[in-house]
Amino acid sequence: MSSINTDYELIIIGGGPAGLCAAMYAGRGLLKVALLERGTTGGELLNTELIEDYPGFVSITGRELAKKMTEHAEAFGAEIRQENVEWVEKRDDGMFEVHCTSGTVYHTPTVILTAGGTPTKLGVPGELEYAGRGVSYCAVCDGAFFKGDVIAVIGGGDAAVEEADYLTRFASRVYLIHRRDELRASKILQERLFANPKIEIIWNRKVLEMTGDPGGLQKLELEDTVTGERSDLAVTGAFVFIGFRPNSGLIRGHFDHDASGYIVTDDRMQTSIPGLFAAGDLRVQLTRQVTTAVGDATTAAIAVEKYLTDRKTQGIPVQA
């Protein structure tokens, strides 16, 4: 049986850097705000060992920064609730309903969606079969299980290059497999990669299949993207970093988005649905970093304050 909660002026969905920053600013603005997160707060910070590009911290672990952000939000009165959100939709009266697997339905005039995304799968045979038995999408989570092993990282962006470098702490050899002849990663990350003697780049290759035995992954079948030639690579671990899909599917009803499902917002982070704001990795933008996530969130939280003030001025209820 579902329960109805009407206590909040703002619901924030997602507890990563964007959500925590938005919660902190909303709390400072004395809004009645709840942040809904299905697990531990921190989002992708929990999958990153070291943060070295966040102002004020030359180097800080992802988990430590997540802890500090959580404490900061709570210090300003934000309430963090463990909830798995299934969907959010706007009613005809202008209020939103946020439906959770617990059966609780939150009624609120404003929502900030900061739910990030989920890792993109290769979609090749054996990937799902060996997930957790050699195939991983999180180096920090699983790297220590591959001490002394030969492993592969698939991808060519910042995440793939950064995690390949990190994984050399454990593996005896790391192959970086990229389907092109140049990387998309930032130059400073590439320089670190090229300087690491434990990393070998396999250019112009794509993974066709992952195979192994009951004990786990043993081999990748590769195809040359130029010649079509096939080859095998013996590895016991494969870390996939080829992007992720935005969790914009939580929104019921039409909203403006790009071809990949990333949400289009205005300069106030408001979506095409009035009262629904988006911040962080699921929004259309050039870069997706912790700094851009918290910048989005700052704007969104302040915009929510102004949105609610305008509603009050017009005599429109701000609570169900």
For residue range 191-201, list pLDDT tens digits in order. 999 999 999 99
Q: Buried b / exposed e across 269-295, counting CB within 10 Å, b at 16+?
A: bbbebebbbbbbbbbebeebbbebbbb
Evaluate if residue 49 carries a pLDDT over 80: no
64-122 residue pLDDT tens: 999 999 999 999 999 999 999 999 999 999 999 999 999 999 999 999 999 998 889 99
How many beta carbons lie within 10 A of that of residue 221, not counting itself? Answer: 17
DSSP string, 258-320: -TT-PBP--TTSB-SSTTEEE-STTB--S---HHHHHHHHHHHHHHHHHHHHHHHHTT--S--
- How high is the mean pLDDT of the chain? 94
Region 45-71 average pLDDT:
89
Look at residue 206 and tell me whether its pLDDT is greater than 70. yes
Q: pTM of the prediction?
A: 0.77
- Read off the pLDDT of each residue in 239-254 and give the average, rounded to a whole number: 92
Pairwise pLDDT comparison (207 vs 145), residue with the higher score: 207
pLDDT of residue 8: 96
> What pLDDT is attached to residue 204?
98
Contact 241, 163 (CB under 8 A): yes
Q: What is the average per-residue pLDDT within 240-254?
A: 91
pLDDT of residue 113: 98
- Helices 187-195 and 158-167: crossing angle, nearest 10°? 30
Q: What is the per-residue pLDDT across 61-80, written as a single tens digit (0 to 9) for each?
A: 889 999 999 999 999 999 99
Are 3-119+244-313 and 135-240 equal in CATH topology?
Answer: yes
pLDDT score, position 138:
84
Contact 45, 16 (CB under 8 A): yes
Q: What is the pLDDT of residue 320?
A: 56
Q: Is the pLDDT of residue 186 over 60?
A: yes
- Mean pLDDT to the nearest integer, 117-132: 92
Q: Is residue 1 very low, low, confident or very high in pLDDT (cuts 50, 70, 90)?
A: low
Q: What residues does each domain of the chain span?
A: 3-119+244-313, 135-240
pLDDT band at residue 319 using 50, 70 and 90 as cut-offs: low
CATH of 135-240 given 2.40.50.140, 3.40.630.30, 3.40.50.150, 3.50.50.60: 3.50.50.60
Band of the pLDDT at 315, cuts 50, 70, 90? Answer: confident
Catalytic center residues: 138, 141-142
The CATH number of the domain covering residues in 3-119+244-313: 3.50.50.60
CA distances from 120 to 45, 128, 139, 174, 243 (A): 18, 12, 15, 21, 5
